[in-house]
């Protein structure tokens, strides 16, 4: 998969079997013992094994590929406890927080900087300056990330319904699209999760681009990560279809002028996703198939005025499009 330096045009890639090469290409070195299946990329002049593709299907990671937000909350609370921080994020509070602010450090910066105040702990005092605040946030985030990885490695997280089927269907298309992941989480956390959940089933090599929150200056709901994905894949935004689970993800996709379908989670199910092309509880519902998604992108099936389609209307539009 790709992440980091710009994609050559036309894209010419070669999968490498050893993830340890990643440190040489990207100066990023996760623990090799924990990342078993991930591939990195190397520009290969004259290698046309991957030609330019007509469109892209772009997944968010947490909440879309896997049901994970509860694990994130548990990992934050465990990290707070580890450093003696007098804070515990309830399920209700975290649901609200995650639907307003993307990325772990921005969440904590908002909470400690605007809600609770900077804490007395083993690594901080209430009067810390701006530089010390950033060091505190990074330390807690690194610890939280490792605790989250431990949850994932322990087999707690699973792919959401329909994810495996849809990836395999899309990858089998004769004119298959690019497959990409654009996550608001840190790169180390994102890669670890993808390796453990997609790598063990040999789904990870189907992906052509992986971007994380630290690849852009502004995280979701800013559209930066989706704009960067279109740039790296050398596609116009109208040829990119995003799968998200939250309002901030939808805002990011629409801000990048991309169509977006929503697969809800328990914390987002009651929200109004105005502007989405489709809202479903999971990817096994609503006629979400490789063929229907291809129709959405290539034949512009979907609302022209930003109204949300219900599953019946979506299926009818796809069927009408296929009969043209």
Contacts of residues 201-205 at CB distance under 8 Å and 24 or more positions apart, as own/partner, are: 201/164, 202/37, 203/164, 203/167, 203/168, 204/1, 204/37, 204/38, 204/39, 205/1, 205/15, 205/39
Catalytic residue among 60, 208, 224, 245: 60
Q: At CA 311, angle to CA 309 and CA 312, rounded to 5?
A: 100
Q: Please confirm, yes or no, whether 305 is among the known catalytic residues.
A: no
Residue 150 designated active-site: no
- Count of CB atoms situated within 10 Å of the CB of 154: 10
What is the CA 214 to chain-centroid distance, rounded? Answer: 12
Which one is catalytic: 47, 62, 86, 195?
62
Contact predicate 209/85, CB 8 Å: no
Contact by Cβ (8 Å): 99, 226: no
How is residue 201 annotated by DSSP?
G
Q: What is the 3-state secondary structure (H, E, C) of 17-64?
A: CCHHHHHHHHCCCCCCCCCCCCCCECCCCCCCCCCCCCCEEEECCECC
- Report the alpha-carbon distance of residue 29 to residue 299 in Å, rounded: 42
Catalytic residues, by residue number, are: 60, 62
């Amino acid at each position: 998969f790709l992440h980091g330096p710009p994609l050559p045009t036309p894209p010419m890639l070669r999968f490498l079997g050893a993830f340890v090469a990643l440190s040489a290409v990207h100066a990023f070195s996760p623990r090799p013992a924990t990342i078993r299946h991930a591939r990195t990329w190397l520009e290969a002049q004259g290698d046309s094994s991957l030609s330019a593709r007509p469109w892209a299907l772009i997944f968010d990671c947490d909440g879309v590929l896997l049901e994970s937000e509860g694990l994130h909350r548990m990992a934050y609370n465990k990290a707070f406890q580890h450093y003696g921080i007098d804070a515990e994020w309830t399920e209700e509070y975290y649901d609200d927080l995650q639907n307003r602010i993307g990325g772990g450090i921005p969440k904590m910066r908002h909470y400690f900087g605007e809600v609770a105040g900077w804490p007395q702990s083993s690594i901080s005092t209430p009067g810390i300056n701006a530089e010390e605040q950033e060091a505190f946030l990074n330390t807690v985030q690194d610890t939280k990330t490792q605790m989250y990885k431990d949850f994932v490695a322990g087999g707690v997280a699973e792919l959401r319904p329909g994810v495996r089927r849809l990836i395999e269907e899309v990858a089998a298309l004769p004119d298959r699209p690019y497959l990409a992941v654009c996550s608001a989480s840190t790169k180390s956390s994102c890669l670890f999760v993808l390796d453990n959940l997609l790598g063990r089933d040999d789904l990870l090599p189907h992906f052509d681009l992986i971007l994380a929150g630290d690849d852009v200056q502004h995280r979701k709901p800013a559209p930066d990560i989706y704009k960067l994905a279109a740039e790296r894949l050398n596609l116009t935004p109208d040829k990119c279809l995003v799968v998200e689970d939250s309002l901030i993800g939808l805002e990011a996709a629409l801000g990048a002028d991309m169509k977006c379908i929503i697969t809800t989670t328990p914390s987002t199910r009651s929200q109004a996703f105005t502007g989405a092309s489709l809202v479903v509880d999971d990817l096994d519902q609503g006629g979400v198939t490789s063929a229907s998604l291809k129709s959405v992108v290539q034949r512009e099936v979907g609302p022209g005025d930003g109204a949300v389609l219900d599953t019946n209307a979506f299926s009818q539009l796809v069927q009408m499009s296929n009969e043209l």
